[in-house]
Amino acid sequence: MLIERIWAANDLRNFQYLIACAETGEALVVDPLEGQQCLDAARARGFTTRQILNTHEHLDHTAGNGTVVAETHAKVLAHAGAASRIGGVDRGLGRGDIIKVGRTVELEVLDTPGHTRSHVCLLAHGDSPALFCGDTLFNAGAGNCHHGGDPGLLYETFVNQLAKLPDATRVYPGHDYMARNLAFTIDREPGNADAARALEQARTHDPVHARVTTLGEEKRVNAFLRLSNPELIAKLREEFPDIGEQPDARTVFVKLRELRNRW
């Protein structure tokens, strides 16, 4: 499986991706925002774009569909529940569906609500698993729930699905918010040396070459995957005294999300 990350260089800091079969060169575009930029990247690599996958319906993940379809006649894939809001969807997806790219790539569809009600992540299995997670899991963070989402659902997606994937899973999110998210983690957990080290690097990184993290690393630096950490809970209680001495994981997650909204 070949993966090409495309930095949109916009204020929202979007990442778009090409996933291609190494044997046939057939490619799927994930979340095209700048359609022409995605087409140019595919051409430069000699890929033939056959499919588009929108992780969810927000415009910064779908705006390039038309440009890519016009030139390549690619099929558009998206969560069945988001299809009518996106428009032009050829295949509505549900949990457990398999997307094939060329001869060698198979991607499993995860139904991952929270950022929106109808959001999919793509999981590539194998020796070097990879997760394309849109606006659900970010490097050191979690998606907001401002536009059609629900923090309780996002918590369930994190705990029941994402946190259970192998630690070696490479994480390919929809935006680069790594530096800001790491600063949030450190504000919750000043003693987190892994997060401090990662922040030093992320502060000066060129997003074109941003590091790809693994889920194992996320579990060390992402506050939303550290819901039982005593230091984090103690600091959170300073903001929300009513959560008590031993808040459950769901409460910690929802309050972290609430705090991150205004942080």
Residue 84 near residue 54 (C-beta atoms within 8 A)? no
Q: Which is nearer to Zn ion, 124 or 133 (CB)?
A: 133
Q: Which is nearer to Zn ion, 55 or 251 (CB)?
A: 55
Q: Which is nearer to Zn ion, 82 or 99 (CB)?
A: 82
Q: Whole-number minimum distance, CB 197 to Zn ion, in Å? A: 27
The angle at the Cα of 55, spanning 54 to 61, to the nearest 5 degrees, equals 60
Give the number of other CB atoms < 10 A from CB of residue 228: 11
Q: Whole-number minimum distance, CB 54 to Zn ion, in Å? A: 10
Tokens 């793509």 locate to: 122
Q: Which is nearer to Zn ion, 16 or 169 (CB)?
A: 16
Which of 228, 226, 225, 258 is closest to 246 using CA atoms? 228
- Sites for Zn ion among residues 219-258 (CB under 5 A): none
Q: Whole-number minimum distance, CB 142 to Zn ion, in Å? A: 12
Q: Which residue is nearest to Zn ion (CB)?
A: 58
Q: Which is nearer to Zn ion, 30 or 123 (CB)?
A: 30
Q: Whole-number minimum distance, CB 80 to Zn ion, in Å? A: 18
CA torsion 136-140-145-148 (nearest 10°) is: -20
Q: Whole-number minimum distance, CB 112 to Zn ion, in Å? A: 12
The whole-angstrom distance between residue 185's C-alpha and the CA centroid of its chain comes to 18
Q: Whole-number minimum distance, CB 116 to Zn ion, in Å? A: 7
Helix or strand holding residue 214 (H, E): none
Q: With H, G, I as helix, E, B as strand and everything else as coil, classify residue 111.
A: strand
- Sites for Zn ion among residues 3-62 (CB under 5 A): 58, 60
Q: How many residues bind Zn ion (CB under 5 A)?
A: 4
Q: Which is nearer to Zn ion, 47 or 138 (CB)?
A: 138
Contacts of 173 (CB under 8 A, 6+ apart): 15, 133, 134, 135, 136, 137, 138, 139
Q: Which is nearer to Zn ion, 174 or 247 (CB)?
A: 174
φ, ψ of residue 213 to 5 degrees: the values are -90, 170
Map residues 54-73 to x or -, x wherever contact with Zn ion holds by CB under 5 A.
Answer: ----x-x-------------
Q: Whole-number minimum distance, CB 110 to Zn ion, in Å? A: 16
- Look up residue 42 and give its two tokens: 């595919």
Map residues 119-148 to x or -, x wherever contact with Zn ion holds by CB under 5 A.
Answer: ----------------x-------------
Map residues 162-181 to x or -, x wherever contact with Zn ion holds by CB under 5 A.
Answer: ------------x-------
- Look up residue 154 and give its two tokens: 């996002």
The angle at the Cα of 95, spanning 89 to 99, to the nearest 5 degrees, equals 60
DSSP state for residue 8 in the 8-state scheme: -
> Which residues lie near Zn ion (CB under 5 A)?
58, 60, 135, 174
